[in-house]
Amino acid sequence: MTQRAEIDMDGQEPRRPVIDAGAELDPVHPRQPPRPKASATTPVTGLTTDQVAERVARGEVNDVPVRSSRSAVDIVRANVFTRFNAIIGVLWVIMFFVAPIQDSLFGFVIIANTGIGIVQELRAKRTLDSLAVIGEAKPRVRRDGVATTVSTSDIVLGDLVELGPGDKVVVDGELTEADNLEIDESLLTGEADPVLKQPGDQVLSGSFVVAGGGAFTATKVGREAYAAQLAEEASRFTLVHSELRSGISTILKYVTWMMVPTAIGLIISQLVVKDTDLKDSVARTVGGIVPMIPEGLVLLTSVAFAIGVIRLGRKQCLVQELPAIEGLARVDVVCLDKTGTLTEGGMDVTELRPLGGTEEAYVRQVLGALGESDPRPNASLQAIIEAYPDSEEWRCTESLPFSSARKYSGASFSEGNGETSTWLLGAPDVLLPDDDPVLDETDALNRQGLRVLLLTKAAEELDAPSPADGAKPAALIVLEQRLRPDASETLRYFAAQNVAAKVVSGDNAVAVGAVADKLGLPGSERTVDARRLPAERSAMGTEIDANAVFGRVSPRQKRDMVGALQSRGHTVAMTGDGVNDVLALKDADIGVSMGSGSEATRAVAQIVLLNNSFATLPSVVAEGRRVIGNITRVATLFLTKTVYSVLLAILVVCSQVEYPFLPRHLTLLSTLTIGVPAFFLALAPNKERAKPHFVRRVMRYAIPAGLIAAATTFSTYLLARSHYSGPGALDAETSAATLTLFLVAMWVLAIIARPYTWWRIGLVAAMGAGFLLVLVVPWLQDFFALKLVGVTMPWTAVAIAAGGAALLEFAWRAVGRRVPA
């Protein structure tokens, strides 16, 4: 086993080797190398108020902009300066010179859509920024000898920053004080083992404290800090790793490939081959190009995500990465940490059971002294502190902070009578051998869902390789955990949605199983001690799939369990609030942290529940399903239009006829059959299960639907060309073709709007009424150049559209059977 020595300040022999990643520890008694004594240096008082003011004036401030969202400039740029907006902008300018204003309406629609997208994203930005302030890390700095909490951006060069378990190192610095301080640098270096730090050692921003405490002097702040960019990216609004986003990008790439040659062919056909009026040819050419562009699809996707952020923000849920809304909806396994997720953070001491003839009064003194020895007590020790006040006669000479890997803490005391003693407090099944009879007693308590700690008098010093060896049991401390009142309902929700819940905890497996059983978790009777899990990933994955509750899980095992589930094709969410959850949160597909959790967990999680309510997760799942389901619906509408527009252009080029539509006709059709309905459908409630294969699902119906729409429309157009003659024939032909295309597109909308509700039926009916209004109001007929001539051809157009609707229904049912679940 390779070791890297830490050198003491006096240059003598190293006190403790740091074990490299991958080293094996005994599963029951993890071997702990000797630990250093607490620092005996005089505490530094920190900067004075005047010194802080001087540094602020010089600009020596930690001014890295930690943002939870894109800037307003970025939002405007992303919505305005797009490839398709550029194409439409050029065509819009052309239409201003060659055609009436009604043929330029498509440009105003794009401006309106872009404006809506910008407004909604700015609203989402304000929501994210306000929530990020609530969830922001608040480091403690020592100024004028007094520790005070400040914003990360208020730290100045030379500040003395205090550290405790779970704290994130927010700037680079040099340690001034260290009391058994262990720092995890895995987010920077990739090495999982924490590093023991001594006064004089460097600490880097982006690392976090696993155990112990200390203080460091800030040596690099702002953009000069080693991991300033990492810290900024960790809490920035992002649009990456999303199946919807990547799927839409893929679709747009294919659309561009289809659109360019088709548009070139249409231009040649209308402007060169056909000997017609130049302005009319230009207008019809533009009319053929514009509908090929699914211009509103990207904007509606952004709006749907932005609305989701706003809705979840109202429930105190901070979405640090937008795709997390979508990602959690696709999760099929959620790994839950018991403490802080299923149970509330606080505990109560319900019973004290002295062992081995130890007097209860003496045990109370020991527990009071242990509580006083830890400046950053965890929830268990906090309950002990509240139950047993400190005895001022006892003086702590050395301490061993609690760590998740070790499962116990300890301290050495000089007692009031002059004697010295060393005590350990932690998990009974870790501090005692497997055959100790005390474990039977603790098992009985654990089966009641109670948490049990063991107090032992150590036979070894704290800096011994295994301080727990030979320890004598002194007392059992029984703690009652407070179950979250909403946890049971949330677990039932996941079960109903076929999302497997796995409780993954560092606590005793029996106790964890009892808590899970009280909450009604399916499979809670299948409880596994993680120390007996196989190390090989595939075997571990099989065990995890077969069981629901795991106790005594080490931080590294949590990470391995997430990886094992992912290797079996699962999409995994991980919840947690402690430093022992950081690595697993980072590796999970979706990391969920409680707002009261450590700074490190909040930094790596994609979702932070600021109200600490596990019951908020179903809302996130529901929001993700709404976005996925609705965008799939509206994408089908947009892509159907693109397909029939490209096919119509190809048919026109091959037939050497005038393009049947002016821009005004397709603007009207797009608004009534796609634009307005898509906006409502994209934001509507939707509880459909999230399904994969987004592109395949959309294109498998959009292609046949577009083919049917193009074929029926062009058939009507050709029949109308043979039916009408003389002046005004082209307008009559266009009107008949427009009627067929509208009716077929409306049927596509009617299919996409299913299952019907009163408002969906009303939406479809309103769009139909809008088109009917254009046909019967004279000035609207003139404005849109739509007038049905005669009786025969209009009814023929309706009959062809009816045949197209029947084909659409057949295609919809055929695709529904073939698309994978």
Indicate which residues carry an active-site annotation.
337
Residue 469 CA: distances (Å) to CA of 15, 78, 430, 653:
20, 63, 11, 88
User: What 3-state class would DSSP assign to 148?
Assistant: strand
Considering only CA atoms, which of 411, 402, 408, 403 is closest in space to residue 429?
408
What is the pairing mode between strands 160-163 and 208-220?
A: antiparallel
Question: How many angstroms separate the CA atoms of 200 and 499, rounded?
Answer: 49
Q: Under 8 Å CB-to-CB from 769, ≥6 apart: which residues?
A: none
Sign of the alpha-carbon dihedral angle for 364, 365, 370, 376: positive
User: What 3-state class would DSSP assign to 124?
Assistant: helix
Q: Residue 88 carries which side chain, given as an amino acid letter? A: I
Q: Where are the alpha helices (DSSP H) in 568-656?
A: 582-587, 599-604, 617-655
Contact between residue 159 and residue 140 where contact means Cβ atoms under 8 Å apart: no
Residue 755, preceding peptide bond in cis (omega within 30° of 0):
yes
Considering only CA atoms, which of 820, 552, 590 is closest in space to residue 691?
820
Secondary structure letter of residue 47 according to DSSP? B
What is the pairing mode between strands 333-336 and 343-354?
A: unpaired
Joined tokens for residue 37: 């004594």
Q: Where are the alpha helices (DSSP H) in 347-437?
A: 360-373, 379-387, 428-431
Provide the angle, in degrees to the nearest 10, between the axes of the packed helices 487-496 and 617-655.
30
What is the pairing mode between strands 549-551 and 500-504?
A: parallel
Question: Read out DSSP for 633-691?
Answer: HHHHHHHHHHHHHHHHHHHHHHHT---S--HHHHHHHHIIIIIHHHHHHHTS---PPP-
Sign of the alpha-carbon dihedral angle for 20, 21, 24, 30: positive
Sign of the alpha-carbon dihedral angle for 89, 95, 97, 101: negative
Q: Which residue has the tokens 């036979």?
A: 459
Residue 587 CA: distances (Å) to CA of 186, 520, 560, 690:
12, 28, 9, 22
User: What 3-state class would DSSP assign to 536?
Assistant: coil
Contact between residue 425 and residue 349 where contact means Cβ atoms under 8 Å apart: no
Provide the angle, in degrees to the nearest 10, between the axes of the packed helices 379-387 and 360-373.
130
**Beta-bridge mates of residue 594:** 609
Q: Cβ–Cβ contacts within 10 Å for residue 546, how many?
A: 10
Secondary structure letter of residue 28 according to DSSP? S
Secondary structure letter of residue 459 according to DSSP? S
Sheet containing 317-319, strands listed edge to edge, beginning at the edge strand earlier in sequence: 317-319, 607-609, 590-594, 572-576, 333-336, 500-504, 549-551, 527-529
Joined tokens for residue 660: 């049947």
Q: Phi, psi at residue 348, to the nearest 5°?
A: -130, 135
